[in-house]
Amino acid sequence: MRFYFPDSQDQISPQYDFIRDEYPYHRVRQRDDLYAHQAVNPAPYDGILISKAIVDGSARGAGKYSTPQRDRLYRNGVREFFGLPATMQSLGDCGAFNYIDEEYPPYTIEEVLDFYYECRFNSGISIDHVIFGYKPDVPECEADPAWVKRREISLDLAERFIEAVKGRNRLIPHAKDRLEPVGAAQGWSPDSYADSVARLQKMGYKRIALGGMVPLKTPEIIACLERISEVRKDGVQFHLLGITRVDSMERFVGYHVSSFDSTSAFRQAFMDERNNYHTADRSYMAIRVPQVDGNLTLKRLILAGVVSQSEAIKAERECLKLLRQYDEDESVEVQDVMDALRAYQTLLGDEKKLKKVDKYKKTLADRPWKYCPCDLCRKHKIEMVIFRGTERNKRRGFHNMTVLEAKMRKLSLT
């Protein structure tokens, strides 16, 4: 089972100063900063997924790449741009979520192929149109006409896509440099997904990406895979788009799912209310210590005269000092740190976050960072569980992916 990490230009600065909370003056982001596969060993994923919408933009607006970054990606190719190891694969897609409100995908076949071939991807997914809705017992004749139309658009584009790929591949002498076409299957039920897969196989696809399943519950995904298995041809493998269900991966493998992609473990580090720091058997809440000079809400309170800037700075520094002392000095008790954290949140007047302070006790008492073997936890220690700024939060996200990688590796060995 291969795990692809969807790129959104998430990097960390290896020389960031956590004590002063500042970058080195000579830092050049694209030259010096590291992706997760460069920051930890072993790499926490088997490949990266890059969306055209992220690079080139879409109907929703500009992409995540600056013009110089985009030009360099097209010029140097995926492998050199990201510094990918020889064993790591690249997968391209169109980023269908970025044009979900459009009546028709905004890209032509030729535009997508130019992206895939110029950037030299190993594999590329056909253009698709996401169907949001799941009605397992609804036949096509009774389904929402918009769903039926989106599925037919996806299948029509897939047929034109694979023929265009065959044409371009014939011009490339070495097989290793040719693009692997991946067909995108959409549906609203087990039967509609199975029909999409059957038609994609007839077109010649040997690898098929199953899209639109992110909102589905695991039993619903299993039901679709079971029905798809009835029409699957020998040698055809499946990719789950946006799905991370580690507890169900063994069952997915039984239905010939060979790869998946997701940002879930990474994003939980800073988007989840509770499960920010992952371990092999549980998750912990990260400890929030807002930056006085970087937190917009706190800045507004200071400017409005509700909070004293000097008091806020003093409380912030006390929290960080005690957290670090607790990590290094056994004489500092959990309660000492808890009292400082509670005092800081009381000063800020945020009742919701004040209630969370009690939940930090488990994180502090268990000290999970001390038992983690990943490179980042060994280097940064307690900083990894402090919810504060992009550098700590992204490192915690990279850590979470190492936990996911270890779980996937363990499954592959059993």
Catalytic residue, chosen from 7, 33, 56, 93, is 93
The answer to whether the bond into 24 is cis (omega within 30° of 0) is no
Q: Smallest Cα–Cα separation from 252: which of 216, 278, 232, 224?
A: 224
Q: Which one of 261, 293, 327, 358 is the catalytic residue? A: 261
Q: Which residue has the tokens 């060979």?
A: 258
128 catalytic per annotation: no
Q: Shortest CA distance to 33 belongs to which of 83, 92, 68?
A: 83
H or E element at residue 48 = strand 47-51
The DSSP output letter for 61 is B
Residue 243 one-letter amino acid? I
Q: Please spell the DSSP secondary structure of 302-339, one letter per residue.
A: HHTTSS-HHHHHHHHHHHHHHHHHHHH-TTS-HHHHHH
Quote the CA–CA distance of 322 and 104 in Å, as a whole number.
56
Does the active-site annotation cover 261? Answer: yes
Q: Which residue has the tokens 């990201």?
A: 82
Q: Count CA atoms within 13 Å of residue 68 on its CB side.
A: 3
Q: In terms of C-beta distances under 8 Å and separation of at least 24 residues, what long-range contacts does 291-296 make, across chains too?
A: 291/21, 291/316, 291/388, 291/389, 292/316, 294/21, 294/389
- Gap between the Cα atoms of 251 and 246, Å rounded: 10
For residues 3 and 408, is the Cβ–Cβ distance under 8 A? yes
| Rounded Cα–Cα distance for residues 399 and 36 (Å) | 9
Rounded to an integer, what distance in angstroms lies between the CA atom of residue 138 and that of residue 161? 29
Number of H helices, E strands in the chain: 18, 12
Tell me whether residue 140 is exposed, middle or buried, using C-beta atoms within 10 angstroms of its C-beta: 0 to 12, 13 to 18, 19 or more: middle
Kindly report the number of other CB atoms within 10 A of residue 351's CB atom. Answer: 9
C-alpha–C-alpha distance, residues 90 and 76, integer Å? 14
Active site residues: 93, 261
